[in-house]
Amino acid sequence: MSKPSIPQGTRDFSAAVVRKRQYIFQTIRTVFETYGFQPLETPAMENLNTLMGKYGEEGDKLIFKILNNGLDNPAKLEQIKADFDKVLEGKNTKGITERALRYDLTIPFARYVAMNFGQLTLPFKRYQIQPVWRADRPQKGRYREFYQCDADVVGSNSLLNEVELTHIYQTVFNQLKVPVEIRINSRKILAALAEVCGGADKLTDITVAIDKLDKIGLEKVKEELTQRGLSNEQINTIEQYLQISGSNTEKLATLTQLIGHTTIGAQGIAEVQHLLNYATNIDALVADFTLARGLNYYTGIIFEVKATTVQMGSIGGGGRYDDLTGLFGVPN
């Protein structure tokens, strides 16, 4: 008789741990509601076509797909075999799977907005605290099932939303007594880097590689960029970009010399400068141009939050995604 176990990458929580988690969730929930955000819950599973193609090549591989019922039906054996052959070729087929566990809370929120657009009062500010699932390789600090605590605003282009969200980060972690550093960049700055390196078609290759910088180091990032077809000259430009350092003011000055001549680069620099100017009383706000965030849907300011007193991965992150609801046929 085999020993009882749980799937890799999942956890049980004792009463003591559950109470601590509930305290954290309630602290976050209270701050969200103080800033006027409304609660939302969405199903654990979504239609597969809702999720696929929204997270980039790397993200799509980590979506937990749910097998259809009836795959043991003898009457459909030949069709099922043919459909499985397509799956083995890396293709999706409705004969095998039509649904998947949600990968994050952002795409389900965009789907919700698209389905309920006519009934929402804009700008609509929602928060959501629910589990998500990723078919990742389990390792320290990385699980296949975990909670996300999201706050999003739809129906407003104002950068004051980013200012408010920065203050939400600070308020939550101050109340939890966790010292943090809030790092910011703009996806437009990364797009400008791609433009300087030869064109917008390089953006995904560059951001996917840069997003691994903390995990694998600069030399491995350069190796990956080479494997993705970038030239030595292009890689040298990216290395120069990644080595920008100094105070926020000094970093912006150096960056302006590198990409400020491009239209989209100037826009991205202005966004970061705006946030630094208006998110006052936040000493921990740092311009970090190595920040990439691997998800494809970001279009503007991106965030990452890291604890400063313990060695671990990011404990917060996100960004602006102006075009996301357009994927579901709803204007931005």
State yes or no: pLDDT of 18 exceeds 90: yes
How far from 330 is each of 113, 125, 155, CA to CA, in Å? 8, 17, 11
Residue pair 276/301 in contact by the 8 Å Cβ criterion: no
Mean pLDDT in residue range 40-58: 91
What value, to the nearest 5°, has the Cα angle with vertex 127 and ends 10 and 149? 30
- 226 lies in some domain: yes
- 301 lies in some domain: yes
Mean pLDDT in residue range 200-216: 81
Task: Report the pLDDT value the prediction gives residue 278, as an integer from 0 to 100.
Answer: 92
**Cα(113)–Cα(259) distance, rounded to whole angstroms?**
35
Torsion on CA atoms 73, 133, 211, 231, rounded to nearest 10: 0
Short-list 299, 297, 303, CA closest to 318: 303
State yes or no: pLDDT of 332 exceeds 70: no
**Cα(83)–Cα(69) distance, rounded to whole angstroms?**
14
State yes or no: pLDDT of 7 exceeds 90: yes
State yes or no: pLDDT of 89 exceeds 80: no
- 233 lies in some domain: yes
216's enclosing H/E stretch is helix 213-227
pLDDT in tens, 244-300: 999 999 999 999 999 999 999 999 999 999 999 998 878 789 999 989 876 667 889
The rounded mean pLDDT for the chain is 90
Domain that holds residue 237: 182-332
Handedness of CA 273, 275, 279, 283 (dihedral sign): negative
Short-list 269, 271, 246, CA closest to 259: 269
What pLDDT band is residue 325 in, cutting at 50, 70 and 90?
A: confident
Handedness of CA 194, 200, 201, 204 (dihedral sign): positive
> For residue 107, which phi and psi values (nearest 5 degrees)?
-65, -45
DSSP 3-state of 100: strand
Sheet strands (E) in 43-179: 45-47, 65-67, 97-101, 124-133, 145-154
268's enclosing H/E stretch is helix 263-278
- 41 lies in some domain: no
What total number of domains does the chain contain?
1
- 229 lies in some domain: yes
Residue pair 100/51 in contact by the 8 Å Cβ criterion: yes
- 281 lies in some domain: yes
pLDDT in tens, 151-184: 999 999 999 999 999 999 999 999 999 999 999 9
Sheet strands (E) in the chain: 38-39, 45-47, 65-67, 97-101, 124-133, 145-154, 180-186, 285-287, 301-307, 316-319
- 133 lies in some domain: no
pLDDT in tens, 134-156: 998 888 878 999 999 999 999 99
Q: Which CATH number do you get for residue 322?
A: 3.30.930.10
What pLDDT band is residue 218 in, cutting at 50, 70 and 90?
A: confident
